[in-house]
Amino acid sequence: MSGERMILNMGPHHPATHGVLRLEVETDGEVVAAVRPDIGYLHRSIEKIGERVEWAQFVPYTDRVDYVCAMNANHAYVLAVEALLAHDPATRLAIPRRAEAIRVLVAELNRISSHLIAVGAMAMDIGAYTPFLHAIAQREAVNDLFERLCGQRLTYNYMTVGGVAFDLHAGAEEQIAAFLGELEREMVRFNRLVTANAIFRERCAGVAVVGAAEAVAWGLSGPNLRGSGVAMDLRRDAPYGIYGELDVQVPVGEAYAGARGRVGDCYDRYVVRLLEILESVRLIRAVLGLLPPPAAKADDPVGGFQADATKALRAPPAGEVRVRTEAPRGEMAYILVSTGGRQPWRVRVRTGSFTACAMLGHLLPGVFLADVVAIIGSLDIVLPEVDR
């Protein structure tokens, strides 16, 4: 106790916090006076490990940078290594078009499953437990597809330098199409249960408003930035893979809660993720329409799923690259420095959760204690992205 204020600990074992995040919360009655995020409980020196293993051997570690969207984490790293290899015509890889399409396909499926966790957990944090189970059921359907594809349900090690580890399994396209139809029907039910719920709206509308200029100044990215009304999406604005061939639509915050809400509040961040789920459904259908038929040889330039393996195993030439991708929690960027050896000289990862977590000390003071979990849920912070 200090005067009329009390220090409360939320996490890392508090059931209402996401992962091993500890918040030291100073309260003045029911109002938050100050917050200090205490991070590092999940630190595993992943960046330093990346400098001690060979280029291709680091791919399984990228799964752990964000295990909720491991496909997207794989994608960012292999694109960065391939960009380094492209500095020299002798090591440049020709990624088969089918492999590029499969990468986008699985990345968007993983975006769906990640956002389902985000919106379902946020609803549960506020008190609606049943909708979380509906979201988990749809996420399990994505996990089933990934298990058929590569044998794993959480950390996939699927994308490789040069393509993907395996081609789509037999019947995958039909199974994915069936899942998308079921998901759209399920989202109608989810919106009735949660999005249109008066109690949920009251808990989120007008809470923790982040204006567009403020979001940019704090370095927010992804749905948290778009929830503040900033139409920035790297898939559209700096496309990679085959995203340039897709008409990527970018939903932004528009005070979706009406008169009681404001652009950039908790409700806007929540709705933007729901809209992105539907956008991913549309993009996946477009990719299925562009997907070349499988080839007899894995390294076929069109229908194959892997580039020349001998080139992929060569060390990249000396140089430095920065590759930015649009992961479910915002910009996931890799900065790689090569000295021409078989191991990176420097590996640096930028993630969306790190900047979102940094904003908590600014955003939480002045809100009610009961709103803290709603705000954390609306930012969708995943701790491996913070600690690394």
Tell me: the pLDDT tens digits for 22-50? 889 999 888 999 999 888 888 889 999 99
Take residue 45 and report the two structure tokens written for it. 């020196």
Asked if the structure places residue 339 within a domain, the reply is: yes
- What pLDDT score was predicted for residue 1? 45
Residues 358 and 329 in one domain: no
Residues 114 and 83 in one domain: yes
- CATH number at 115 reads 1.10.645.10
Residues 99 and 113 in one domain: yes
Asked if the structure places residue 36 within a domain, the reply is: yes
Take residue 316 and report the two structure tokens written for it. 């990249």
Residues 251 and 132 in one domain: yes
Domain span including residue 383: 1-41+354-388
From first to last of its 388 residues, the chain has per-residue pLDDT tens of 445 888 888 877 655 566 678 889 999 888 999 999 888 888 889 999 999 999 999 999 999 999 899 999 999 999 999 999 999 888 899 999 999 999 999 999 999 999 999 999 999 988 888 889 999 999 999 999 999 999 999 999 999 999 999 999 999 999 999 999 999 999 999 999 999 999 999 999 999 999 999 999 999 999 999 999 999 999 999 999 999 999 999 999 998 887 788 999 999 999 999 999 999 999 999 999 999 999 876 667 898 888 876 666 778 999 999 999 999 999 999 999 999 999 999 999 999 999 898 899 899 999 998 899 899 999 998 888 888 7
Residues 2 and 111 in one domain: no
Q: What is the pTM of this model?
A: 0.94
- CATH number at 377 reads 3.30.390
Residues 114 and 28 in one domain: no
Total number of domains in the chain: 2
Residues 377 and 252 in one domain: no
Residues 3 and 136 in one domain: no
Asked if the structure places residue 2 within a domain, the reply is: yes
End-to-end CA distance of the chain: 34
Asked if the structure places residue 5 within a domain, the reply is: yes
Residues 260 and 229 in one domain: yes
Asked if the structure places residue 300 within a domain, the reply is: yes
Asked if the structure places residue 349 within a domain, the reply is: no
Distances (CA, A) of 175 to 148, 180, 356: 11, 9, 35
> Helix crossing, 129-150 with 97-126: angle to 10°?
160
- 8 A C-beta contact, residue 30 and residue 368: yes
The H or E element containing residue 347 is: strand 346-350
Q: Which residues of 295-332 are buried (b: 16+ CB within 10 A; e: fewer)?
A: beebbbeebbbbbeeebbebbbeebebebbbbbbbbbb
Distance CA 16, CA 124 (A): 9
Residues 386 and 271 in one domain: no
- What pLDDT score was predicted for residue 3? 59
Residues 112 and 250 in one domain: yes
- 8 A C-beta contact, residue 278 and residue 184: yes
Residues 77 and 191 in one domain: yes
Tell me: the pLDDT tens digits for 299-349? 678 988 888 766 667 789 999 999 999 999 999 999 999 999 999 999 999
